[in-house]
Amino acid sequence: MTNNVVIRIRDVKKYFGATKALDGVDLDICSNEVHAIVGSNGAGKSTLMKTLAGEYVPDDGQFYYLDEEITGFSPLEIQQKGIQVVHQVLNIVESMSILENILLANPPIKKGILDWKTGRKKVRETLDFIGIDFDLGKSAGSLSISEQQFVILARALIHNPKILVLDEPTSRIGLEETRKLFQVINKLKQNGTTTIYISHRMEEIYQICDKISVFRDGRCIDTRETEQLPKDKLVTMMLGKKLDVFFPKNEMEVGNEVLRIDKLKYRDIVDDVSFSVRRGEIVSIVGAVGAGKTEIINMIFGILKSDGGEIFIDNKPINKNHSSYKAIKMELALIPENRALQGMVEKYPVKYNLTAINLKGISKFNLINSEKEEVLAKDLNTKLSVIPNDINYLISQLSGGNQQKVVIGKWLADSYKVYLLDEVTAGVDIGAKSEIYELLGELAIKGAGIVLATGDIEEAIGLSDKIIILYKGKVVKEVDPKNTSKDEILSYIMGSEKSA
Amino acid sequence: MKYYLTSWEVKKVHKRNFDKFIRNYGLPLGLLALVLIIQIIFNKVPLFSLFNINNILLETVSIALTALGLSYIMMSGEGDLSFAGMFSLLTVVFATFANNTNSFIISYIIVSVIAVSVNLFIALLVTRLNFSSFIISIAIMFMANGVEKAFHQQTTLIQNPSILSFSRIEFGLPLVVWLMFIIYLVSYFVINKTKYGFSLRIVGENKNAAIEAGINSNRIKISAYIIAGLLIALASAVESTRVGAIYEQGKYYMLPVFAACFLGSSMFVPGRINIIGTLVGALFLGVLEKFMNMISVESYIVSIVQGIVLIVSVGLVAFKNRAKIVQVKL
Amino acid sequence: MSSISIPSLREKRMIIINPQMRIFIGLLFVVLLFFAFATPNFGFIRLQNLNNILTDSVIPAIFAFGMGIIIAGGGFDLSLGHIASMAALIVAYLMSGGIRFDLFSAILVGLLIAAGVGSINGLLVSRMGISSFIVTLGMQFLIIGVRQLITGGQSVYISNGLFKKLVFSEFGISNLVFVLVVVGLSCYFIMEKSVFGRKIQFLGENIEASRFMGFDIKNITMVTFILGALLAAIGGTLFAARAGAVQINSVDSKLLDAITIAVFSAVFFGRFSTSGIIVASILISMISTGMSMMEIKTEWIEFMKGFILLSSIFLTKYMNFNKPNGSISSILIGKGEAINEQQESI
């Protein structure tokens, strides 16, 4: 069956200096379909979408919308054509109300004055369509990230777009919300709207998308119907090579308890959480967005102050005056959730980023020895097979996966008792992911305790010795991944089974 | 769905309501309180006498107008220090032309053109070439200062009585005070009820959201600078006719102008510059200064107090939003 | 075995060879040539004159070091000029008539008080979370007030001979230059070579990341303000020694010079660069001297300096050496670019 082609992309090129972000993209998007775009980091997905959204002007090639060439590339013109893009970064105006945020692009005007009353009706309709309810007068900044994502979605849908682009929409929302989102996408499909779906998450793609286009190195390699594309073939296409071992099979000795949390509490986000980690053990914390994973990790590391409960390292309690400085002294390491903002200094070379934690080690009498610094940095860089292998590269020039390796890398100069990892493989391509998994395995073998906060259940099952499931800030269950199915874990995460 | 609130949440709600009350009414109440205190202390010289009110308001006009201009610029997301140098330069230019041409209109037009051109220049550098408004405005401040020094190093007074009367005409309140209130009223309306104001606030708060909404940030910022230019021109005309062009007066205004804006930002949404707040802030500082003059406090102590007011007011707001601030992102 | 080592020959070479430095030095020669021909009788390149230029560049450089350290840590300080003159005032006052402190004690007290002011600034910024710009703006006026209190509006004269000697020449080069060398080396080691300096720069570039790396943010910030104040105090004292008196209004041009130089080199090199600051001060000193030799009025020289500040930012746009974009550069270049891509996947 031939559906009408709504968007035709022909030989589109976009360069950023010497980097070929888009190197001749050819792609057809049809009407009434949900079309997935997948690919590793740097493959060109987001760049293409940004160009489609009118934020970048292509250096070469053509875009055709309904057989007419798109000549004006500005967000306004693109939106007027009926193309709406929901970006990865949530651009909420925090101090303004939800109502104002949804109507951001088109505030209702009557006789020259803003007329919010009229706008409310339209907004209510859209929110009903999505199946969500908001107090429109509340400030958008007071919402959770998940709710904000839906505000942005409403902002796009209120224009009744013919094309809706969703860039990693589920990275910040929980499972219930994901279901809602999928309902919306299906409804849109019935109404004749095409959805372009960019994501790293295989389960979702296979659940909702009709077609999959694979991107690699700035080109669209192929487009296939989802039913005709088995998962391993997809991975091969994305990587350009076969990937054998994904999760390392590690048999390691588990030692004494190194970390224990007792009745930890934080505001109304974390309540009465207790668990323990032993040397050589990998413990995953899973849960929906907002379940409290990041908060727990940050409390252990001293970034947040707990409102109650105790933390023990090697059976010694942590002081109430805990700080990240002290945490490092206690041999705790943390790889934070947001690598750009929290894990690295973007404008510094890889060299500086790798040695940031270990300045004492490479200095004498407080003066940094540049030779020692180079040696250490080169060492770490090579050990992690960071590409390109040049420590003088600015870290911002690396791809997401390599950046994450550098972020982790600085903690490898020394050995720590406990490694805390918060969504360590988020936004990381498959190749780098498996390398990181191997690394974690090695660290565990060396006797460290590892706490892995993750939203990826498969990752948790594949890697860990023990899984702690959180639901709304409480520990619902501790499970053994070998004996528990993915669905069971999912249902605990969604809170549908009571704690045993 | 919970039908009861835990005690922790009840406390939170009460605290939120209390906070909101303080936020919305704290500053004007403080102003009222200050006025009352003065009234009580100086029983013989009632503050509420028309003469005194006129006087105070008159003295506050230049600061209030300059602060309004600064507010526009800050609401668009930029910062500005140039007014400290430009203000006194403009008063000198106005006075000089007033004395030479004996025409209010010509002098006013010239001052407006200069102010708007300089601001336009800054705006273009900031928008097209992406320079830091903060640093550029410092440079302009020093340059304006240099130019002013080259002109004169003393006070210039306007001779022409009809021009001087600009700040003396009264309709109950002085004409310029009416002007100030009207301009503020119009600004309030524009900022809060028009699409332009809506766009302005978006540009200032989240640049990317502005792009997504199809707003031309550059155009908006340039407009904010132009408005500020017009306002500072008016302020300088008022000042020039009221007390003349005092050498380097702008420097002394740097503090109260900023303080007015930041004090005002403590109203409504904490940390957000807003029109009413700026006006109340300017009035508050004006009354404060008058008060200190009345108890014969030396001028430098006035500066000290204003400095403390600034720090405290910003400090309170900052303290509440502790997690978010610290670095210089002006 | 001494704990301080002079930069090895290899490192010294690196300082001069990197491309930005080359341009700077080139600029220096261009300006030199320009003024050589523009001044009557080639007065500009006479040895005595060059000596003067070098000497004139010392004090602004010291101020710039102070401002530079604070900027590197992500802050800003508008009160440095006033801290400088207040410190000078205290030193002069303590040595004068009634009290007769000796030179070293007086200077010590002056430095201590400056450090005190610096720590107040630092405290307010680091623990109260107030923008450093606002804090120092307010502090500026506070200091003006206090100064007024002490002097009652009059200048204080310096009669201490030893003090004056600080400023004079030995071996044909003013003692000031030696002071610059000492101060410069110290700043170099603190900012560019020490662990602490590296932390300051990290802090200035990304405060969140610094928090996650266990840096003691509050104390680091505070120390930057204290160091800035100390350097300002040193600069102010030297200025007073040179002038023979401490006046009230001699503040602003110092501030402008300091900002210009600190900004110029911070933006040009993308970080705190000791040699950059020194070369920049020499450049500005050349321009000031040259212009006055061409008999241009002082007011216009002030104007010129503001103009240079402007153009220095302009220049860096077209010289993308380090693609400055961190917080330091956010202050300087503007918020526009810094937002660009802070999201993860592509």
CATH of the domain at C84: 1.10.3470
Between B167 and A105, residue with greater pLDDT: A105
Residues 235-274 of A with CB under 8 A from B: 268
- In chain C, the number of structural domains is 1
Q: Is the pLDDT of residue C128 over 90?
A: no
User: Per the CB < 8 Å rule, is A347 touching C346?
Assistant: no
- Please tell me the predicted confidence (pLDDT) of residue A40: 65
Asked whether B323 and C128 are in contact (CB, 8 A), the reply is no
Beta-carbon pairs below 8 A across chains B and C = 163
Residues 235-254 of C with CB under 8 A from B: 252
- Please tell me the predicted confidence (pLDDT) of residue B200: 95
Contact with chain A for residue C18, Cβ under 8 A: no
| Candidate from C128, C141, C332 with C-beta closest to B319 | C128
Nearest CA in chain A to C345: A427
- Please tell me the predicted confidence (pLDDT) of residue C166: 60
pTM beyond 0.80: the answer is no
Range of the domain at B87: 56-248
Q: In this structure, what token pair is assigned to residue A284?
A: 């995953």
Q: In this structure, what token pair is assigned to residue C53?
A: 């230029």
- Please tell me the predicted confidence (pLDDT) of residue A421: 94
Q: Which residues of A touch B273 (CB under 8 A)?
A: none
Domains A5-239 and A257-493 share a fold: yes
Residues 6+ apart with CB under 8 A from C53: C282, C285, C286, C289
Q: Is the pLDDT of residue A69 over 70?
A: yes
- Please tell me the predicted confidence (pLDDT) of residue B48: 58
CATH topology of domain A5-239: Rossmann fold (3.40.50)
Nearest CA in chain B to C329: B132
Touching A (3+ Cβ pairs <8 A), the chains are B, C
- Please tell me the predicted confidence (pLDDT) of residue A259: 92
Nearest CA in chain C to B135: C332
pLDDT tens digits, A373-420: 888 888 888 888 887 788 888 887 787 778 888 999 999 988 899 999
Q: Which residues of C touch B138 (CB under 8 A)?
A: 259, 309
Between C183 and A79, residue with greater pLDDT: C183
Q: Is the pLDDT of residue B45 over 60?
A: no
Task: Please state the rounded mean pLDDT for residues C193-210.
Answer: 90
Contact with chain B for residue A94, Cβ under 8 A: yes
Task: Please state the rounded mean pLDDT for residues A132-158.
Answer: 87
Task: Please state the rounded mean pLDDT for residues C331-346.
Answer: 32
User: Per the CB < 8 Å rule, is C198 touching A345?
Assistant: no
Phi and psi at residue A110, in whole multiples of 5°? -130, 120
pLDDT band at C99 (very low <50, low <70, confident <90, very high): low
Q: In this structure, what token pair is assigned to residue A60?
A: 């070469």
Half-sphere exposure of residue C136, counting CA atoms within 13 Å on the CB side? 26
Which percentage of chain A shows pLDDT scores above 90? Answer: 21
User: Per the CB < 8 Å rule, is B195 touching A114?
Assistant: yes
Asked whether A229 and A211 are in contact (CB, 8 A), the reply is no
| Candidate from C128, C139, C337 with C-beta closest to B307 | C139
Contact with chain B for residue A92, Cβ under 8 A: yes
- Please tell me the predicted confidence (pLDDT) of residue B293: 74
- Please tell me the predicted confidence (pLDDT) of residue C330: 43
Q: Which residues of C touch A43 (CB under 8 A)?
A: 346
| Candidate from C193, C206, C326 with C-beta closest to A367 | C193
pLDDT band at B14 (very low <50, low <70, confident <90, very high): low
Q: Is the pLDDT of residue C332 over 60?
A: no
Nearest CA in chain C to B304: C142
Touching C (3+ Cβ pairs <8 A), the chains are A, B
B62's enclosing H/E stretch is helix B50-75
pLDDT band at A429 (very low <50, low <70, confident <90, very high): confident
B304's enclosing H/E stretch is helix B299-320
Whether residue B254 is contained in a domain is answered as no
Least confident of B178-182, B206-210, C46-50: C46-50
Whether residue B8 is contained in a domain is answered as no
Asked whether A415 and A448 are in contact (CB, 8 A), the reply is yes
Beta strands in A183-256 (DSSP E): 194-198, 211-216, 219-225
**Domain extents for chain A?**
5-239, 257-493
User: Per the CB < 8 Å rule, is C202 touching A46?
Assistant: no
B115's enclosing H/E stretch is helix B104-128
- Please tell me the predicted confidence (pLDDT) of residue A131: 87
pLDDT band at A178 (very low <50, low <70, confident <90, very high): confident
Which percentage of chain A shows pLDDT scores above 70? Answer: 92
- In chain B, the number of structural domains is 1
Least confident of A150-154, A276-280, B97-101, B245-249: B245-249
User: Per the CB < 8 Å rule, is B213 touching A96?
Assistant: no
| Candidate from C198, C324, C344 with C-beta closest to A400 | C344
pLDDT band at C160 (very low <50, low <70, confident <90, very high): low
Residues 6+ apart with CB under 8 A from B59: B242, B286, B289, B290
pLDDT band at C341 (very low <50, low <70, confident <90, very high): very low
Instruction: Tell me whether 0.85 is exceeded by the ipTM.
Output: no
Most confident segment among B212-221, B253-262, C158-167:
B212-221
Between C339 and C39, residue with greater pLDDT: C39
- Please tell me the predicted confidence (pLDDT) of residue A476: 85
Q: Is the pLDDT of residue A488 over 60?
A: yes
Q: For all residues of chain A together, what is the average pLDDT?
A: 84
Q: For all residues of chain B together, what is the average pLDDT?
A: 81
Residues 6+ apart with CB under 8 A from A227: none
pLDDT tens digits, A23-64: 889 999 988 899 999 876 556 787 888 888 888 888 888 888
Q: Tell me, rounded to whole angstroms, the distance of Cα A252 from its chain centroid.
A: 30
Between B7 and A58, residue with greater pLDDT: A58
Q: Which residues of A touch C324 (CB under 8 A)?
A: 347
A257's enclosing H/E stretch is strand A257-266
Q: Is the pLDDT of residue B185 over 90?
A: yes
Q: Is the pLDDT of residue B97 over 80?
A: yes
Question: DSSP H helical segments within A426-485, as ranges?
Answer: 430-445, 457-463
- Please tell me the predicted confidence (pLDDT) of residue B46: 53
Asked whether B83 and B250 are in contact (CB, 8 A), the reply is yes
Least confident of B120-134, B138-152, C240-254: C240-254
**Of A93, A115, A118, which to mutate for an interface test with B (greatest number of B Cβ within 10 Å)?**
A93
Whether residue B75 is contained in a domain is answered as yes
User: Per the CB < 8 Å rule, is C196 touching A400?
Assistant: no
CA distance B256 to B140: 20
The B-side interface with A (CB below 8 A) comprises 8-9, 193-195, 198, 201-202, 205-206, 208-209, 211-214, 269, 272
Residues 246-275 of A with CB under 8 A from C: none
User: Per the CB < 8 Å rule, is C198 touching A352?
Assistant: yes
- Please tell me the predicted confidence (pLDDT) of residue B256: 86
Residues 6+ apart with CB under 8 A from B202: A93, A96, A104, B209, B210, B213, B215
Residues 285-314 of C with CB under 8 A from B: 297-307, 309-310, 313-314
Contact with chain A for residue C343, Cβ under 8 A: yes
Nearest CA in chain B to C308: B139
pLDDT band at A187 (very low <50, low <70, confident <90, very high): very high
Task: Please state the rounded mean pLDDT for residues A307-319.
Answer: 89
- Please tell me the predicted confidence (pLDDT) of residue B186: 96
pLDDT band at A274 (very low <50, low <70, confident <90, very high): very high
pLDDT band at B246 (very low <50, low <70, confident <90, very high): confident
CA distance C302 to A259: 63
- Please tell me the predicted confidence (pLDDT) of residue C18: 61
User: Per the CB < 8 Å rule, is A112 touching B194?
Assistant: yes
CA distance B202 to chain A (A): 7
A364's enclosing H/E stretch is strand A363-364
**Of B190, B195, B212, which to mutate for an interface test with A (greatest number of A Cβ within 10 Å)?**
B212
- Please tell me the predicted confidence (pLDDT) of residue A50: 83
| Candidate from B8, B195, B211 with C-beta closest to A107 | B195
CA distance C121 to chain A (A): 23
Range of the domain at C142: 9-333
- Please tell me the predicted confidence (pLDDT) of residue B193: 92
Whether residue C1 is contained in a domain is answered as no
pLDDT tens digits, C3-51: 333 334 344 444 444 666 776 777 777 777 777 777 776 777 777 788 8
Q: In this structure, what token pair is assigned to residue A193?
A: 């709207």
- Please tell me the predicted confidence (pLDDT) of residue C231: 95
Asked whether C328 and C71 are in contact (CB, 8 A), the reply is yes
**Bridge partner list, A114:** A109
CA distance A429 to chain B (A): 26
CA distance A115 to chain C (A): 31
User: Per the CB < 8 Å rule, is B325 touching C135?
Assistant: no
Question: DSSP H helical segments within chain C, as ranges?
Answer: 9-17, 19-38, 47-72, 80-95, 103-127, 132-151, 161-165, 175-187, 195-205, 207-212, 217-243, 252-269, 274-293, 298-317, 327-333, 335-338
In order of A290, A490, A491, B188, C25, the CA distances from A496 in angstroms are 17, 9, 6, 51, 71
User: Per the CB < 8 Å rule, is A75 touching B208?
Assistant: no
pLDDT tens digits, C140-150: 888 887 877 77
Q: Which residues of A touch B269 (CB under 8 A)?
A: 95, 139
- Please tell me the predicted confidence (pLDDT) of residue A499: 41
- Please tell me the predicted confidence (pLDDT) of residue A458: 78
The CATH superfamily of A257-493 is P-loop containing nucleotide triphosphate hydrolases (3.40.50.300)
CA distance B295 to chain C (A): 17
Q: Which residues of A touch C215 (CB under 8 A)?
A: 324-325
**Of B142, B154, B257, which to mutate for an interface test with C (greatest number of C Cβ within 10 Å)?**
B142
User: Per the CB < 8 Å rule, is C212 touching A342?
Assistant: yes
- Please tell me the predicted confidence (pLDDT) of residue B325: 34
